[in-house]
Amino acid sequence: MSVGEEVRAEQGTPQQSLGTAAARNLATTTKSVPQMQEISSRWLLRTLPWVDVQGGTYRVNRRLTYAVGDGRITFVKTGDRVEVVPAELGELPALRSYGDDEVLSELARRCSQMEIAAGEVIASFGNRTEEVYLLAHGRVEKIGTGPYGDDAVLGVLADGAYFGEQALLDPDASWEYTARANTPCTVLVLSRADFEQVAERAETLREHLRELRALPVQRTNKYGEKEIELAAGHSGEPDIPHTFVDYEASPREYELSVAQTVLRVHSRVADLYNQPMNQTEQQLRLTVEALKERQEHELINNREFGLLNNCEYDQRIQPHDGVPGPDDMDELLSRRRGTKLFLAHPRAIAAFGRELNRRGLVPETIEIGGNRIPTWRGVPIYPCGKIPVTAARTTSIIAMRTGEQDQGVIGLRQSGLPDEIEPSLSVRFMGINEQAIIKYLVTAYYSAAVLVPDALGVLENVEIGRWQ
């Protein structure tokens, strides 16, 4: 009964026409299909070039590269005390491929913790390198000398980085830059004296260092690849160098990952409640949407093939002032040729916009698929809510070159699956059980591959909660 009908009943006025509540029982309402808040723009899935993979595996062949130990170091924090994970010391060039856990544990115990105030100089240019520093938390600037004697920032180091590693191999090494704390920092320090004391008692470590020093110096290009011997600018009849292009003996292989679920629909629902909307179709539609959201999340965050975990260390940079600024985006662009796109959390895009506003800059926008997308230097900045935001309100911005022809980042899938509804996405009927429940297996196969290291770059530890 409507409010008007209730009032008339209370006043004793007889009803003169059919009420709306009763009429609604005979009316067909206009309704929407089921809505879902989880659906996002999924720009990564839309912009990534997809390559069909036969056999479920994609192998990335590269030129032979002589890698040095330049990864991230992991720490364990207990209260105010910070300790390095012993096995993580293998990231240092002097300990690369060294696997004696007892010796690594002894070296980890000898690392002393230091708290450094913002602005304090940790190491000075030209001084002897006596210690290696493991940066557990904070930002450190590498300061060099400019062409006119002024200070020049060579780079910024952040959580998990290390510097001064040459002290472990070369007793005559000296600092080639000044290391200055940009924020309050927590570092672990391993002195060369402690390292040598451990090496004196550990035969395996001494043997490892002897083998390391005996390795011939390989001629490489600036990317660490074995150099191809060439001659240019010569005249007459000099001897032309002989060369060949060597390949990695064990190239990386990417296996397709899978996301699956079993959708269940009762046959009574499918039979009796299929008008005006097909219940099974709507259930499948929303399930596929959730599967694609998970697919994009995995492409960003998966430990094996996710973009954030597969970016090389030398392609990771830190913002100079914490907030994402134009200078940081320019540096991110400069690390690779032909950057096709940025991916950033919407809050990181807002933080970048605040920095542009502060400087009086207005970014250009372009229209893509009916959406206005902001750009920087002509490169679109796509929003991606799958990029994580930490409890400290920091996040990352990803820059990519894409496509096989450009040696970029590619998506991997296998089309032609049985019962396929989209490339590499299938819905298979699994039968009806004794409870009259219909079951469908919904499956998506996917992965991503970085063809060469400089195809992918990340601006890390971007602060999104600071307002100027």
Cα 451 → chain centroid: 15
Q: Give whole-number Cα distances, 239 to 233, 235, 243, 244, in Å.
A: 13, 11, 13, 16
Percentage of the chain beyond pLDDT 70 is 92
Alpha-helix residue ranges (DSSP H) falling in 3-48: 3-11, 20-24, 43-47
d(CA 15, CA 133): 87
How confident is the model over 69-94, as pLDDT tens digits?
Answer: 546 888 888 778 889 999 889 888 88
How confident is the model over 97-153, as pLDDT tens digits?
Answer: 888 889 999 999 999 999 999 899 999 998 999 999 999 988 899 998 878 778 888
How much is the pLDDT for 284?
A: 93
Length of the chain: 468
Residue 163 pLDDT exceeds 80:
yes
How confident is the model over 378-395, as pLDDT tens digits?
Answer: 999 999 999 999 988 999
How much is the pLDDT for 354?
A: 93
How confident is the model over 194-249, as pLDDT tens digits?
Answer: 999 999 989 999 898 888 777 666 667 666 677 787 878 778 878 888 777 777 77
**Looking at residues 27-39, what average pLDDT do you find?**
84
Residue 467 pLDDT exceeds 80:
no
Of residues 206 and 23, more confidence is placed in: 206
Reported for 50-56, long-range contacts at CB under 8 A and 24+ positions apart, including other chains, are: 50/410, 50/411, 50/412, 50/413, 50/423, 51/404, 51/410, 51/411, 51/412, 51/413, 52/413, 52/414, 52/415, 52/423, 53/256, 53/412, 53/413, 53/414, 53/447, 54/414, 56/255, 56/256, 56/414, 56/445
How confident is the model over 272-308, as pLDDT tens digits?
Answer: 888 888 889 999 999 999 999 999 999 999 999 999 9
Q: Say if residues 317 and 460 touch (Cβ distance below 8 Å).
A: yes
Q: Give whole-number Cα distances, 390 to 303, 305, 374, in Å.
A: 17, 21, 24
For the ranges 101-105, 222-226, 336-340, 442-446, the lowest mean pLDDT is seen at 222-226
Mean of the per-residue pLDDT values of the chain: 88
Of residues 21 and 252, more confidence is placed in: 252
* 406, β-bridge pairs: none
**Looking at residues 266-272, what average pLDDT do you find?**
89
**Statement: the pTM of the whole predicted model exceeds 0.75:** yes
Cβ count near 45 (within 10 Å): 16
**Looking at residues 44-52, what average pLDDT do you find?**
95
